Amino acid sequence: MDGMTHSAEEQALVKAAHRVLPAGHFGNFASDLIIREGRGGRVWDVSGNEYVDYLLGSGPMFVGHAHPEVTEAVLAQVPRGTTFFANNEHGIRLAEEIVAALPCAEQVRFVSSGTEADMYALRVARAFRGRDRILKFEGGYHGMSDWGLMSLSPRRLANFPTAVPDSAGIPKSAREEVLVAPFNDLDAARALIEAHHDELGGVILEPFQRLIPPAPGFLRGIREITAQYGIPLIFDEVVTGFRFAYGGAQSYYGVTPDLCTLGKIIGGGFPLAAIAGRADIMAHFDRGIVGDDGFLMQVGTLSGNPVASVAGLATLAVLKRPGTYEQVFATGRALMQGIEAMLKRAGLPAQVVGEPPLFDVVFTAEEVRNYRDVLRADPALQKHFNTRLRAAGILKGESKYYISLAHTAEDIEQTLQAFAGAIAALPGKAG
């Protein structure tokens, strides 16, 4: 079934990876794929196999791999120095651009990963509010911290608001600091916030949770109840920032949080992330304003790195051009509609869930509004399609198609042909 060739070099590298890396990989993607090169909307592995790339490095390569303007900016900076542990002009300019773009952003603090951004956003919310507990939504991903890894993908479902750790090594005490609500259930979330408002340091959510769009009125309702009690609302926009609109999901959905976290796109393929938000909350990063007791220490060797900053600035310059988002949405919509039509003709219990820049097929006929709805999907069908697509030269994550500015009509046509082949390979569908 696998139409790809596998060279001796690739096989040797896979063996080496299993010898020196736990599970044979970096903790991200399967160990049997080793990428050598990416250009535009495609990548090549070390055996020379070519793929239409909907993985996009898990989302950062929104303008495509090796975009010439991003590459030029990086190559111009590298001979001038790659890191300084001090302010540099490019990081300052990038912060200015973020403040100008995002409705919630008055100030920015840079870090190197989305995990750090989410962790510090929770910490600064607690510092501002003077409370310890956090409310999050089941199925929401907020990085790898102890608090972020609560009820992300629990195998054992608990009654709300009980938090379930998703990893070994998390202290039991961390469970008591996190309350969990169902996504897209405004009544349940409102009741929890009202019952615990004196304990909450913040509420964090992905405005677009993994693949699931917010129900009408959900984000606005959460904004209203948190504002009523003065609880900082954090939008995790590590994925959605600059992807759905230049002003992020907060602009796209028309709801402004108090803080947001950013990553992926703003680094242009380099390690860079950020916390952005209201100046009075961000003031806790400034000892001169809040004093010793209110000060939140944050130090990062590579925070605001100049190479990442110039890559981010070049990426954002591309995205600001007229027609950019219209093109991405048109590309994504064409693929979504083509897949939906094939699923309907085949009579499969499945639906396309998401927005044109980021979506996937969920193999269930039931409405998908939250994490527990996704759990009802058919994992065997999901695996069948992902395996068949990979063999046909289509690279995607287990549960996402990331669309880029670089994807072409040819890429979409190849993907739809591969999807049709996956349907034909199902028992009873041949011919």
Rounded to a whole number of angstroms, the distance between the first and last alpha carbons of the chain is 17
Active-site residue 236, yes or no?
yes
Active-site option among 264, 325, 360, 400: 264
Active-site option among 54, 120, 141, 253: 141
The structure tokens listed for 378 are: 């058919």
Q: Which helix (H) or strand (E) holds 342?
A: helix 324-346
How far apart are alpha carbons 276 and 350 in whole angstroms? 37
Are the CB atoms for 319 and 242 separated by under 8 Å?
Answer: yes
How far apart are alpha carbons 237 and 250 in whole angstroms? 9
Are the CB atoms for 141 and 147 separated by under 8 Å?
Answer: no
How far apart are alpha carbons 253 and 257 in whole angstroms? 11
Active-site option among 236, 360, 373, 411: 236
| Residue 260: C-alpha distances to residues 101, 111, 170, 233, 343 (Å) | 12, 13, 25, 8, 36
| Residue 240: C-alpha distances to residues 122, 215, 259, 367, 407 (Å) | 18, 17, 14, 22, 18
| DSSP secondary structure letters along 393-407 | TEE-BTTBEE--TT-
Active-site residue 378, yes or no?
no
Q: What are phi and psi of 9, to 5 degrees?
A: -60, -45
Active-site residue 383, yes or no?
no
Angle at 252 between CA 250 and CA 258, to 5 degrees: 10
| DSSP secondary structure letters along 74-104 | HHHHGGG-S--SS--HHHHHHHHHHHHH-TT
How far apart are alpha carbons 139 and 226 in whole angstroms? 20
| 3-class state of residue 422 by DSSP | helix
| DSSP secondary structure letters along 236-294 | EETTTTTTSSTTHHHHHHT---SEEEE-GGGGTTSS-EEEEE-HHHHGGG-HHHHHHHH
How far apart are alpha carbons 14 and 16 in whole angstroms? 5
Ordered strands of the 50-53 beta sheet: 35-39, 42-45, 50-53, 394-395
Judged on CB neighbours under 10 Å (0-12, 13-18, 19+), 293 is exposed
Instruction: Give bridge partners of residue 259 from the DSSP assignment.
Output: 234, 277
Residue 354 CA from chain centroid, whole number: 13
Would you name the residues annotated as active-site residues?
141, 236, 264
